Amino acid sequence: MYKRHEQHLAVEHCGRAEGSDTTQPIPADDVDSFSLAVNTYATPSIFPPSSTATAELKPSMRPFPMGMGIPAGVGALLVLLLMPAPAAPFSFSYNFTSPSDTPPPGIAFQGDAFYNKAIRLTRDERLGPITSSAGRAFYSRAVPLADPVSRRPASFATAFAFSIAAPDPASASGDGLAFFLSPFPSALPDASAGGLLGLFNSSSPRAGPVVAVEFDTYKNDWDPSGDHVGVDLGGIVSAATVDCGTSMKDGRTAHARVAYDAAARNLTVALSYGAAAAGPNATDGVLLLWYAVDLRDYLPDSVAIGFSAATGEAAELHQVLYWDFTSTVDPKEETVVLWVVLGLCALLLVLVGAGVIWFVRQWRKAGELGDGDIEVDDVTGGEYDELADELVVESGPRRFRYAELAAATKNFAEDRKLGQGGFGAVYRGFLREVGLEVAIKRVSKGSTQGRKEYAAEVRIISQLRHRHLVRLVGWCHEHRGDFLLVYELMPNGSVDQHLYGKGVLLTWPTRYDIALGLASAMLYLHEECAQCIVHRDIKPSNVMLDATFSAKLGDFGLAKLVEHGSQPYTTALAGTLGYLAPECVMTGKASRESDVYSFGVVALEIACGRRPAELNEEPSKARLVPWVWELYGKNALLEAADRRLEVEGQLDEKQMERLLVVGLWCAHPDYAHRPSIRQALNVLKFEAPLPVLPPKMPVPTYFPPPDLVAPISVGGASSTEDPGISDYGSSGQGSSVRDRLLEP
């Protein structure tokens, strides 16, 4: 039963002295104050009523080692949250600091988490580098959030002690730990290190059905401060935060309490470091945060509970020392309910059978929705099975059913469309089964290269694993005429949206990191894969931005696998005009050097905030590469910098000079004078000196006679949307008029 009230802050004052194994009754003044406040603060039944407020703490529930002498009014607030629960339907208690090296029973570990006289959530020095680490430890049984019979939501309270220590106090450290609730069993997302705390994937920071209380030690772009406590509801951007006012990474033992009152729908957090004050939001050493929320809006009926932590480039050590948990609902009750449900199912067998038949018909119908105008493509019968077998061999991406993807996009509704490009449209979707937001590319029915580009993209990207490449989640071609590719969703769109569209203005540090990330991805493709991969369509709309604005290269529909050290190969010209290297236009030969040329143009765009060609500019400024090269020859290179950055006062002139010079170097008209992407990256990282370029833009001298030039045929259909919108794999368009490409 629950006592429902308007407010929802409840905190207990514990009178145990630091280092003592005994507990003391709560002072009488605090009991009187509690009696006065009982009609103001929410009290779920797992907390004692006012008549039991003088009871001593049970040994199984460790008290907070906080100071004495809390004022009467504050004591009333402290009693409710931190008071230990009496006998309840479900509870457990762990002391992880025992001398045993054996992991405690009932605790599961994921990622880099391990046990060594404490739960250690991230790597320590003995297990390798402690940077870029993420791990979870969670209770191995599902915990219900609702009574399986009455469906009444469960209240719970949990207390735990933890410590966070920076290996080098003089250096930056991060990123913190969190207590979380998520679908059972727990699943540690990929690419969840750093500020994502092992909770969310960098591509979907707002998509996961996860609720967490974070103890964050590093200020990321979305954080209010470096040391703070926050409540995360399905995303890494906290719904509520409070600043600690003290360091959480100095190795001290922190005592935390999280309580949820289901009747009042309140989540309350308390944090203590003993008697020391903890900032302006603390009361006698107790940091308080409360937030009104119905957890049923974010979580399923049964959840995993536990702890998660992560490090990025800055590192620290995360330990959990003890953990108590109490809930009003016992997981064992679900077994009884199961038999009841089975009995009801037997009685209603006829109705259930009818429901199954109806469901199957609806499912089949979903697979046929919207295909009235779909023509039969070149994948039919045995050929479909052959292609499916061929692609399913690849590791990583999975095969989806068409009905799943149709449901995820509301049958590819127009309002779910993210963009339209050369080889098809891209739709935003949500896969409910895995709780993941995705971008689904539907290859155009009118594309002459549909199957070829689809198969190439699946085969190539399935082999790739790099933090600066867009991840392919899955694929589907069971619906005739449709080739579907499922990618991780990039919440911040593509680079061109922010340079030229309605996206936020990219700061200079973000822009420079994007250039470094793109170069890193190209280095992986060109030199670090088993086979060299020539991308052939590097441009801003194919450079995606995840939740932290980290660059990820996408669109492998035009990519080709070639052997390392092989010569450029001839192919039908494909790509986007403005980014195609001169030799590629003239001969139809693509190579690593032509990819480097495209990178050079993109680097100049990032620095200048301008497209490769601006028709509204005066002739001397209309074409980006010649204009910047002219400024270079006049020793006025920084005049090319995006003026918006100067207004923001963010410009780093040394980095700007590096990016502009590297951009010109890579966009050299003669491929023999371009750097490798490794050389370009070394200069951008200040690991190599700036190259000295000719003061005037060179004129290429190696073009073959016009009658030997390969026919120009830029692949793809024309775009019907803003060309700034990326389509996760659709090549942009350009003119096929050679004269425009060969203008001096």
Instruction: State the catalytic residues.
Output: 537
Contacting residues for 654 by C-beta, under 8 A, at least 6 apart: none
Among 284, 267, 328, 382, smallest CA distance to 15 is for: 284
- Extract the tokens encoding 340: 């009841």
Contacting residues for 344 by C-beta, under 8 A, at least 6 apart: none
Among 540, 542, 532, 587, smallest CA distance to 563 is for: 532
Question: What is each CA distance from 233 to 88, 205, 216, 292, in whole angstroms?
Answer: 27, 11, 15, 11
Question: What is each CA distance from 109 to 306, 308, 323, 431, in whole angstroms?
Answer: 10, 10, 15, 26
Torsion angle, CA of 578/583/585/589, rounded to 10 degrees?
-120
Helix 592-608 / helix 653-666 crossing angle, nearest 10 deg: 150
- Extract the tokens encoding 169: 């106090």
> Three-class SS of residue 681?
helix
- The rounded distance, in Å, linking the Cα atoms of 15 and 171 is 37
Q: What is the DSSP secondary-structure string of 273-291?
A: BTBS---TTEETTEEEEEE
Question: What is each CA distance from 637 to 632, 660, 667, 684, 720, in whole angstroms?
Answer: 5, 8, 15, 16, 36
Helices (runs of H) and strands (runs of E) counted in the chain: 16, 31
DSSP 8-state code for residue 470: P
8 Å CB contact between 92 and 139: yes
> Three-class SS of residue 449?
coil
User: Which residues are bridge partners to 429 per DSSP?
Assistant: 438
C-beta neighbour count of 670 within 10 angstroms: 15
- The rounded distance, in Å, linking the Cα atoms of 328 and 89 is 6
Residue with tokens 């905190």: 11
Whether 441 has a binding-site annotation, put simply, is: yes
8 Å CB contact between 592 and 485: no
- The rounded distance, in Å, linking the Cα atoms of 217 and 606 is 31
8 Å CB contact between 2 and 47: no
- Extract the tokens encoding 227: 């040391």
Residue with tokens 């509301």: 410
Contacting residues for 262 by C-beta, under 8 A, at least 6 apart: 2, 44, 152, 153, 154, 155, 295, 328
Q: Which helix (H) or strand (E) holds 521?
A: helix 508-523
- The rounded distance, in Å, linking the Cα atoms of 466 and 396 is 13
Among 713, 46, 221, smallest CA distance to 422 is for: 713
Beta strands 417-421 and 286-292 are unpaired
User: Which residues are bridge partners to 271 per DSSP?
Assistant: 256, 287
- The rounded distance, in Å, linking the Cα atoms of 552 and 491 is 12
Torsion over CA: 564, 568, 573, 575 (sign): positive
Phi, psi of 130 (to 5 degrees): -95, 0
DSSP 8-state code for residue 41: B
Q: String of b and e for 164-174 (b: at least 16 CB within 10 Å)?
A: bebeeeeebbb
- The rounded distance, in Å, linking the Cα atoms of 507 and 457 is 32
Contacting residues for 57 by C-beta, under 8 A, at least 6 apart: 14, 16, 23, 63, 84
Task: Give binding residues for ATP as ranges.
Answer: 441
Task: Give binding residues as ranges.
Answer: 441
